Structure 1
Amino acid sequence: MKTAVRIAAADAEPVRRELWHRIYERVGRYWKALVLAVIMMSGAAATQPALALIMKPLLDQGFSGSEPHYVWFLPMMVIVLILVRGICNFCSDYLLAWVANNVLKGMRGDMFKRLLGMPDSAFKQGETGRLLNRFTVDAGNVTNYATEVSTVLVREVLVVIASVGVLLYMSWKLTLIVLVILPLSVLVARSFIRRLRRINRDTVNMNAELTRVVSEGINGQRVIKLFDGYEREHTRFDYVNARLRRFAMRSSVADAAMTPLTQLFVAMAVAAVIASALSEANLGELTVGGFAAFMAALAQIFDPIKRLTNVAGKVQKMLVSAESVFALIDSDTENDQGTQTLPTRVRGEIEFQAVSHRYPDAHRLTLDQVSFSLHQGQTVALVGRSGSGKTTLANMLPRFVEPTDGRILLDGHVLDTLSLNSLRAQMALVSQDVVLFDDTIGANVAYGALHDASEAQVWAALEAANLKTFVESLPQGLDTMVGENAMHLSGGQRQRLAIARALIKDAPILILDEATSALDNESERQVQQSLERLMKGRTTLVIAHRLSTVQNADMIVVLDDGKVMEQGNHDALLKQDGMYAALYRMQFREAS
């Protein structure tokens, strides 16, 4: 067991060094501000032993009256030294805060860039809370602790060095006593560092869990109220909250234990110094002023050493947070190794060739040897029971999902040979899970690469989606904010706004995944008419559970358990009296 622990520790050491390097590689980009901050910290550090040095002339000559000008000179020196220290501390703190916030800005920018480049599968692992925690907590911890650790290490080390210089100047014998006893406190503190590292890693993970629980409580508050889920949610939250309290208390105990232990060694050093100083004073080798100056300089060492000892806990928190942040920055991005670029507008000839797919850790194939074709301007509908693989198949066109086996061709090009931007520029998607941004209606319609669309184009898209009258009735029209999760719109309005966004793109390929699912019968009829008019000349893949919406499709592909069971148009499939006909009759009975 001990051997395994030593091996784990040895393996962890290079990781910690790499984290240190990556953190301060980012901090080092602002080296000019850092150099100026170090100069300011050096000035502040120099003032502390200077205050101690004043004690000797103050007691030995000042109170005896042998130097009358000390009456005004020494008080002025105290004021000047405190003023210089205050200015230097302010400047160094400002510069370090400037560096920290710039590093945080850059780090969060890199994290968000990588977040948007992650594959679709990465967002289906249920780690939303952990991802949010990395942006809000971990990134802040890295930069805050990095600058704080730098400040402590530089400023306090300079103070200790300057104070030790004064101590040696006053009495090298007494200084040796201090240098022998105080380092023992550092050895004791090391025993707490490993414990703090484990606690801080557990705290980071539990903070992510807290974010997830609270987020689900906010998003699911209506379900909680309707199904009386108060006790369950309180239980979940209380568990996480209690664990966080437990970790915080463990960390506090470890931090608090270092302080009295350090003070014990300090007391031992002071006791030994007093005993030796009294011996030197009896021999006439040390004056009262010299002893007071020595003790003043010695007293100034204790706080810096305490802060240097306590910085170990902050270092561990910084490294644990950095590990989480860089794990996101280093995460895999989408497979975008395609080099071919499609023409401005493709014909829209799509062919699925023996496509199979299996999700990680799944017991069976999601899709099994699926083959069919979509010709230019043709509308093909995918129907089947829930879980038959319809959405997975549609998500393969924009390469949100990659085939496990087989291939998909677009105008004769294999999809994975095409660049993602070139491929996705040819497609528009309307999903049953509507995503709208907390912006204006106009900005949500003309989104992303379409932000320069004219107002007339936006209105035309809204009219085609049967939403123009509603938007015109709003006081602010296109400038109306939709709110977070489009909370100011009804379900049908959200769906139609998403349809308008897809229509304005005017892509040659349309993917409609239950695009009319949230509409009432009248709105569905109007939008369906607009969609049928706009789908002419475009290759369209439609996913629908309600078979009434796909009766006019050029071809219907019936899926079951990931396999193609039937293909043909509506009338032909009804005549076959197979699975499609059974599904159609069942829905007809439910509707009647």
Structure 2
Amino acid sequence: MKHLAALNKYFVKYKWRFLLGLLFTAVSIVFSIFQPIMVRQIFDLLEQNLNTYGLVSDTHLKGAFRGDFTKVLAFYGLTILAFALLSGFFMFLQRQTLIVMSRFIEYDLKNEVYEQYQRLDLNFFKMHRTGDLMSRITEDVSRVRMYVGPAVMYATRTVIMLIIIVYLMLEVNPLLTLYTLLPLPFLAVTIYYVNRIIHRKSERIQAQLSGITTIAQESYSGIRVIKSYVQEDATAEYFDKASNEYRESSISLAKTDALYQPTMQLMIGLSVILTIFIGGLQVMRGNITVGNLAEFVIYVNMLTFPFFSIGWVASMVQRAAASQQRLNEFLEIQPEIKDSPDAQTVVLKGAVRLENVTFTYPHTGITALKNFNLAIQPGQKVAVIGRTGSGKSTLAQLLIRMYDPQEGRVELDGLDIRGMKLQSLREQISYVPQDVFLFSDTIANNIRFARPEADIETVKRAARQASIEKDISTQFREGFETVIGERGVTLSGGQKQRISIARGLLKDPNLLVFDDCLSAVDAKTEKEIIGNLYEYLRHKTAIIITHRIFSLFEFDKIIVLDEGAIVEQGTHEELLSLNGYYATLYARQQSGEEDPVMAS
């Protein structure tokens, strides 16, 4: 239970719902307990009045006696019905408080997990699979909810009912109580172990179902590859094998379930038979009445579900504890990239400086930048060119502080970015990544993601600057309100990149970083975008990472990276005069060739 102790804060938060739930549970049980008591009184009344009825059956008092007795029975019947209705009503209130409380806790816990995902840095997501991350916020939280809701409710109900019923039974006859309760602990133990078997098989089935889903999802996503390589039969066989394993496990679970219910009913039946047999002997000896015997039989049936639920609750608690342990371990992870205690909110003008920066990726051990130095003045336009793995994208990641360098400093306007508030820093930098990500939403909302409050005219202006407005207006019937599908599946690569550029331009900061965001754009469109960008970036600082030379764009500085270090830098004319790597690349590009290593 130590792992589940982390949930106590939620019980405190919703203490009034919790306490009311416990009260409603107790009241519901009390009203249900009155029913067997009333049944006992009816049987005792019948037994007491049978002889009297025999004496008056041949007299004129017969009708009056029968009428009075009928009224008494009707009163008891209506009282039992009223108690049943009241018990049901308070049981309804019990569920409305405890189960609804569990939904509130589920909501809070999911938000807590999601907020933790938002806080964690990029390295965490590179080290963990998406499926594992999703299972925490869905499967694990769902299991925890079963503990704070149904498990707590049934456990409370079981404890209160056991205390009250056993007390009432002991008051009547301790010996009969002992015999009546004798089979029930065995029932609880049996249920517990059977539930563990069912749980283990259910876990295996869940994992196999997840595997089938993954196979199907990959097949749907990669259907073009499957068809082009004529692998339909192979993938179908792979899916068939996984489906057979799932079927066998499901049949095994169904067999266990088939034995489960009859076994439970058998043990409950044995308890009832034992109660009637021992109780009958006690009636014959005059120790109890027939009404007491009927009362005990009803008590046994009322205790069936509490004992039945012991194993079920234990299983739910076990599963919830395992899930909460995973959640606790996850929630205790501290992000490596976070605000320092004295972090400042600053307004950036666009000066950039990297001083003796060395950075190694933690998850791979690859050193991307070594003793790297770069200075950019506000308003300058800088191109970054280099081979695959030369450190170009790493430079962009450091500027928006997705990572911190192991050595050296990254400064903006003379201030170390580790001394700036993360939100303030990232709000003032537009980063257009190499790998475009679009949401399953309208084109307008995908562009507006950078500034949710922007009106449609502002969105269209950003699209115009990114040379995508014409495509949106002519190729899509619903224009900017077109839903583009998951990850922009309905768009071409160039359209995705231009929408991503429009998103970055809409943000309108003083510092922009473009990470090879024109690789899928044709030459004519590229020329148009470059012309628009040149005008847009006139008074802004821009870092454009590319594997192609934009000869029409007048950069203040061009740097060439190789193995994490600057090997050439200067203006376009200065680098051509060096007759080095940049000049060679430019000559190849002009002749229509392209360095395959550079095209990353």
Q: TM-score w.r.t. structure 2 length? A: 0.84
Letter in 1 for 2:116: R
Indicate whether 1:453 and 2:454 are aligned.
yes
2:537 aligned partner:
535
Q: 1:280 Cα shift?
A: 2.5
From 16, 19, 25, the counterpart of 1:35: 19
2:357 aligned partner:
355
1:89 aligned partner:
91
Structure label with greater radius of gyration:
2
Q: Secondary structure at the match of 1:54?
A: helix
Letter in 2 for 1:335: I
1:112 aligned partner:
114
Q: 1:481 Cα shift?
A: 3.5
Question: For residues 514-525 of structure 1, what are the structure 2 equivalents within 5 Å?
Answer: 514-525=516-527
Cα gap change, 1:93 to 1:191, in 2 (>3 Å): closer
- Measured against aligned partners, the alpha-carbon deviations of 1:425-484 in whole angstroms (never above 9, x if no partner) come to 321111222223333333333335x23334443332222122333444566554443343
Indicate whether 1:52 and 2:23 are aligned.
no
From 316, 339, 344, the counterpart of 1:341: 344
Q: 1:536 Cα shift?
A: 2.2
> Residues of 2 paired with 1:418 and 1:435: CA distance?
27
> Residues of 2 paired with 1:25 and 1:278: CA distance?
52
Letter in 2 for 1:386: T
Letter in 1 for 2:32: Q
Q: 1:400 Cα shift?
A: 1.0
Conservation of the 8 A alpha-carbon contact between 1:133 and 1:208: no
- Measured against aligned partners, the alpha-carbon deviations of 1:241-295 in whole angstroms (never above 9, x if no partner) come to 6777787788778888877776676566556545543442342222323222222
Identify unmatched segments of 5+ residues in structure 2.
Answer: 53-68, 595-600
- Taking only the aligned residue pairs, the percentage that are identical comes to 26
Letter in 2 for 1:384: G
From 554, 557, 560, the counterpart of 2:559: 557
> Residues of 1 paired with 2:487 and 2:103: CA distance?
30
2:134 aligned partner:
132
Worse-matched range after superposition: 249-258 or 266-275 = 249-258
- Measured against aligned partners, the alpha-carbon deviations of 1:32-83 in whole angstroms (never above 9, x if no partner) come to 2223322322232223332222332333322645544333122212321222
Question: For residues 201-220 of structure 1, what are the structure 2 equivalents within 5 Å?
Answer: 213=215, 215-220=217-222
2:598 aligned partner:
none
> Residues of 2 paired with 1:36 and 1:314: CA distance?
23
Indicate whether 1:581 and 2:583 are aligned.
yes
Q: 1:511 Cα shift?
A: 0.5
Q: 1:306 Cα shift?
A: 0.9
Cα gap change, 1:488 to 1:20, in 2 (>3 Å): same
Letter in 1 for 2:304: F
Worse-matched range after superposition: 209-218 or 245-254 = 245-254
Letter in 2 for 1:537: H
> Residues of 2 paired with 1:488 and 1:479: CA distance?
14
Q: 1:124 Cα shift?
A: 1.9
> Residues of 1 paired with 2:477 and 2:588: CA distance?
45
Question: For residues 313-352 of structure 1, what are the structure 2 equivalents within 5 Å?
Answer: 313-333=315-335, 335-338=337-340, 339-341=342-344, 343-346=346-349, 348-352=350-354
From 359, 370, 373, the counterpart of 2:372: 370
Letter in 1 for 2:425: L
Indicate whether 1:390 and 2:392 are aligned.
yes
Q: 1:93 Cα shift?
A: 2.0
From 71, 74, 96, the counterpart of 1:72: 74
Q: Secondary structure at the match of 1:344?
A: coil
Conservation of the 8 A alpha-carbon contact between 1:340 and 1:418: yes
Conservation of the 8 A alpha-carbon contact between 1:130 and 1:212: no
- Measured against aligned partners, the alpha-carbon deviations of 1:128-152 in whole angstroms (never above 9, x if no partner) come to 1122223333323322342110111
> Residues of 2 paired with 1:120 and 1:528: CA distance?
31
> Residues of 2 paired with 1:256 and 1:166: CA distance?
35
Worse-matched range after superposition: 473-482 or 400-409 = 473-482
Conservation of the 8 A alpha-carbon contact between 2:179 and 2:275: yes
Question: For residues 169-568 of structure 1, what are the structure 2 equivalents within 5 Å?
Answer: 169-179=171-181, 182-183=184-185, 185-186=187-188, 213=215, 215-228=217-230, 230=232, 273-274=275-276, 276-333=278-335, 335-338=337-340, 339-341=342-344, 343-346=346-349, 348-448=350-450, 450-473=451-474, 476-548=478-550, 552-568=554-570
Conservation of the 8 A alpha-carbon contact between 2:120 and 2:337: no
1:13 aligned partner:
none
2:5 aligned partner:
21
Letter in 2 for 1:505: K
Worse-matched range after superposition: 232-241 or 102-111 = 232-241
Q: Secondary structure at the match of 2:520?
A: coil
Conservation of the 8 A alpha-carbon contact between 1:394 and 1:511: yes
Q: TM-score w.r.t. structure 1 length? A: 0.85
Cα gap change, 1:224 to 1:503, in 2 (>3 Å): same
Q: 1:361 Cα shift?
A: 4.8
Conservation of the 8 A alpha-carbon contact between 1:255 and 1:310: no
Letter in 1 for 2:505: L
Q: How many residues align?
A: 574
Q: 1:231 Cα shift?
A: 5.8
> Residues of 1 paired with 2:288 and 2:296: CA distance?
10
> Residues of 1 paired with 2:345 and 2:15: CA distance?
45
> Residues of 1 paired with 2:590 and 2:576: CA distance?
13
Cα gap change, 1:137 to 1:107, in 2 (>3 Å): same
Letter in 2 for 1:536: R
> Residues of 1 paired with 2:312 and 2:500: CA distance?
54
Worse-matched range after superposition: 151-160 or 258-267 = 258-267
2:56 aligned partner:
none
Q: Secondary structure at the match of 1:536?
A: coil
Cα gap change, 1:557 to 1:206, in 2 (>3 Å): farther
Q: Secondary structure at the match of 1:429?
A: strand
Conservation of the 8 A alpha-carbon contact between 2:155 and 2:310: yes
Q: Secondary structure at the match of 2:561?
A: strand
Letter in 2 for 1:344: V
Q: 1:193 Cα shift?
A: 7.8
Q: Secondary structure at the match of 1:501?
A: helix
- Measured against aligned partners, the alpha-carbon deviations of 1:302-355 in whole angstroms (never above 9, x if no partner) come to 222111222211222222333344444333335223434354342x22122222
From 58, 62, 83, the counterpart of 2:46: 62
Q: 1:399 Cα shift?
A: 0.6
Q: Please tell me the root mean square deviation across aligned C-alpha atoms, in Å.
A: 3.4
Conservation of the 8 A alpha-carbon contact between 2:123 and 2:363: no
Cα gap change, 1:519 to 1:364, in 2 (>3 Å): closer
Letter in 1 for 2:179: I
> Residues of 1 paired with 2:103 and 2:26: CA distance?
23
> Residues of 1 paired with 2:142 and 2:551: CA distance?
50
